[in-house]
Chains A and B, each alone.
Chain A
């Protein structure tokens, strides 16, 4: 398996080949939107916009998708009267939680642990996805350019201190449009707490995955104990430039004079703990995470 798929030199070829496989018919084929929904006879703009988006399939099945929000359309289809359907004006007055239920008719299983999310009950589906995303825009969910961040722009409307952290010298490249908030965060509240956050980090940093024979408990639990993933003043996104972060757990009153090897010689000119204890994510050979000590 490994030999076939993940040889470094072959990966670009796999990606290119797969892209060409998909892209070739894309250039050769021509078509037009065909909305099957009975609503499209009068509301073609809305329905055709929907057909370009992720709800294309369910829209094509008939009026049921529209009815999820606008209510039973049977009378309206017969009468063509506006009062026989829940239109845009009526929807805008509907409480947000009631509007969310319309989405949850089909998407409830996406929110199994939604109540654990800080967004629970406070942020509505419509706060981020909005009417425009459903009716008039093709939702890409990806950052388009550094100046036009789709998700980034939405999140920082409320999370302004996070936006400020992404200005710092060391940060994940979200502001550059290379990453997006949703690359790490399951905004819909999948749950899992520290374990879920660590899983998000491991996606791009599998070198620190473990398990190790000698685990460093905070690293095994969650990366954010020591790292500031949004942005940091310090290299490798560490919370601290010095040893305060380590001493938060490893404090001793007469430090650094005690221990199997006295540390007062080691540190009195300002070395960091991790200069020697470099395997802080875990080690298979040294319980003190100091591979230099074995040399």
Chain B
């Protein structure tokens, strides 16, 4: 992709001076390219992980061509970072049709040394195990980069003002490596103490899809939307999972998973809309079939197959889902609207496979049948500057689960009932200010009937009460815009313990427990535009709180109670300096002051100088600093210098 980008940029730059388009027609056509040098200090891998695999190289800051002609409009827009992430969209539009290609590339990098110096319990890793427990020490040097590429072609044809059909065809390709876990202290199943460090996962994943989306207005009030999609997903993963003992590397587990899934979806939605009422209905059917050939196979360090996981007789997993909804909206008065809708869903999923356990093929089966019905009622009042909505929703869901493998057997019936109510209101207090708020409540009851359970781990009954709400205020005056958002979610659980014994004994009953999970988000912004520039400041406070009961018999057992509590602050400024010169600055700090205790700073200063009417030079100095009290080895300070040109043509 980098080569494509370089070739493309060179072509554009070579052609740009020769293009004869008038300034009026080409207004806004821009290409901005540059080079960036990155000078990392300390953990450069961690820096790349936090910055989309950022590294030295060429970048496309901005590409925008818009061309309107007699027959068609053409638009080409794009952006690519030095980490090879970005997008390029080409759209061509005629009077009756539009077509184009949309491309996306995402690059991610995983830190090979990612492991905390201090375990969450407070224990230092180097007091338990050898200091060298990183991924490199177990499997050698690796480059855990994962790249996702996507491309989608589309063609839209418009029959009339409201009738059109869109065809899409796309491909996805994911390839690379990732580090899926950071490990933790453990005791291996054979009885030797072991420390599971970060593992490595090699992934090859491809998808293709085609879809058709038709939107029609067949009569004055009837609207129909038909959507169909066929999709194929093919994934193969190889895992490398090292385990260290107290003195050295004990072993590395290698295995492979692979599965191919073919799926289809057909959905039809209709509505009959008049001034006084609307009736809406829809139905969808989806089907997916998975062939998990080769799943859980043992491989060696090169990936060569040692023993298949699934038996050759194999089998597959089929899933069928049907959903439907019907609703009506009645406009009782110009200021009063009431609506009522019902929905239902059925999911039937069956799997029948054979798994190698040594030289024996063990059958494994699952059958999951889920049925859900729901209803929603709503009243909406709009009077001048006042807007409000009251919504009530009731959902009942039942799942029959029948799963078995070797000595594992679980037959349960789960019911999940939810009742929720939510009230929204907003009021434009003055011409300059608007206040809005909402509050909601949900009661959820989850119950399980266990018919059979051997070596299983079924959940048991629990009930939760959730209160959630929010408040926002927006203020506008001349060149000043200020806003504040605050929202919270507080859930209290009342849970029975799960039935977790190897042999199900309905006479055994453990104690119930109460616990809470709370979220709080508060953020505000202030934007001020003045004659020579503008500033924008943002301050946020984010808190996640898990207040779990203290376990009875687990000295040192950590991470039940957890509070993640931190602030973010960002500042952007733009200032015109002298003729054709402009400075832009950005500063951002993220600080977690609770369990994680880390601080991240991102900042840059950019200068732009207009050289000619259509040519601007820019230079940018960027700086990142990451401080981590739990994993000092992951800290970094990185400086980057970028220079580039922006051409308008």
Please name the residue on chain A nearest to B568 by beta carbon.
Answer: A167
Pick out which of these stretches binds chain A: B36-44, B230-238, B609-617. B230-238
Taking a contact as CB atoms under 8 Å apart, the answer to whether B171 and A5 are in contact is yes
Query: How near does chain B come to A251, taking the closest CB pair, in angstroms?
Result: 5
A110 at the interface (CB under 8 A from B): yes
Taking a contact as CB atoms under 8 Å apart, the answer to whether A233 and B596 are in contact is yes
30 sample A-B contacts, Cβ–Cβ < 8 Å, listed by A number: A2-B234, A15-B101, A18-B101, A19-B90, A22-B90, A22-B101, A33-B69, A105-B161, A109-B162, A115-B280, A115-B329, A115-B378, A116-B376, A140-B75, A140-B77, A143-B79, A161-B522, A167-B538, A169-B626, A173-B106, A204-B150, A209-B233, A247-B560, A255-B554, A260-B455, A265-B187, A270-B121, A270-B122, A272-B559, A287-B410
- Which of A143, A173, A254, A265 makes the CB contact (< 8 A) with B52? A173
In whole angstroms, how far apart are the Cα atoms of A247 and B223 in the complex?
46
In whole angstroms, how far apart are the Cα atoms of A138 and B64 in the complex?
11
Contact with B along A155-182 (1 / 0, CB 8 A): 0111111011101111001001110000
Closest 5 CB pairs of A and B: A164-B540, A31-B69, A271-B184, A242-B559, A244-B546
The total of chain A residues at the interface (CB under 8 A) is 135
Please name the residue on chain A nearest to B555 by beta carbon.
Answer: A268
Contacts of A105 in B (CB 8 A): 161-162
A residues bordering B, Cβ < 8 Å?
Answer: 1-2, 5-6, 8, 11-12, 14-16, 18-19, 22-23, 26-27, 29-34, 48, 51-54, 56-58, 60-61, 64-65, 97, 104-110, 112-113, 115-116, 120-122, 138, 140, 142-145, 147, 156-161, 163-165, 167-170, 173, 176-178, 191, 195, 203-204, 206-207, 209-215, 217, 233-235, 239-245, 247-261, 264-272, 274-276, 278, 284-288, 291-295
Contacts of A210 in B (CB 8 A): 261, 288, 290, 319
Contacts of B173 in A (CB 8 A): 6, 8, 11
Indicate whether A167 sits within 8 Å of B25 (C-beta atoms), given known contacts A31-B70, A252-B510, A292-B241.
no
Taking a contact as CB atoms under 8 Å apart, the answer to whether A2 and B189 are in contact is no
Taking a contact as CB atoms under 8 Å apart, the answer to whether A26 and B232 are in contact is no
The total of chain B residues at the interface (CB under 8 A) is 209
B123 at the interface (CB under 8 A from A): yes
- Which of A26, A142, A274 makes the CB contact (< 8 A) with B65? A26
B549 at the interface (CB under 8 A from A): yes
- Which of B318, B339, B462 makes the CB contact (< 8 A) with A115? B339
Contact with A along B506-542 (1 / 0, CB 8 A): 0000111101010001111100000000000010111
Indicate whether A268 sits within 8 Å of B121 (C-beta atoms), given known contacts A257-B553, A285-B364.
yes
Taking a contact as CB atoms under 8 Å apart, the answer to whether A106 and B162 are in contact is yes
Taking a contact as CB atoms under 8 Å apart, the answer to whether B521 and A178 are in contact is no
- Which of B94, B270, B474, B515 makes the CB contact (< 8 A) with A251? B515
Given A142-B89, A233-B596, 10 more A-B residue pairs with CB atoms under 8 Å apart are: A6-B207, A56-B73, A105-B161, A138-B75, A160-B472, A165-B521, A167-B570, A168-B542, A244-B561, A248-B515
- Which of B554, B568, B570, B592 makes the CB contact (< 8 A) with A256? B554
B245 at the interface (CB under 8 A from A): no
- Which of B223, B310, B511, B559 makes the CB contact (< 8 A) with A284? B310
B429 at the interface (CB under 8 A from A): no
- Which of A51, A260, A266 makes the CB contact (< 8 A) with B186? A266
Indicate whether A169 sits within 8 Å of B101 (C-beta atoms), given known contacts A1-B232, A163-B538, A271-B186.
no
Query: How near does chain B come to A61, taking the closest CB pair, in angstroms?
Result: 8
Query: How near does chain A come to B329, taking the closest CB pair, in angstroms?
Result: 6
- Which of A26, A60, A274, A287 makes the CB contact (< 8 A) with B181? A274
Q: Which B residues between 327 and 350 are near A, CB-CB below 8 angstroms?
A: 327, 329, 337, 339, 341, 349
Taking a contact as CB atoms under 8 Å apart, the answer to whether B4 and A15 are in contact is yes
Taking a contact as CB atoms under 8 Å apart, the answer to whether A16 and B4 are in contact is yes
Query: How near does chain A come to B299, taking the closest CB pair, in angstroms?
Result: 12
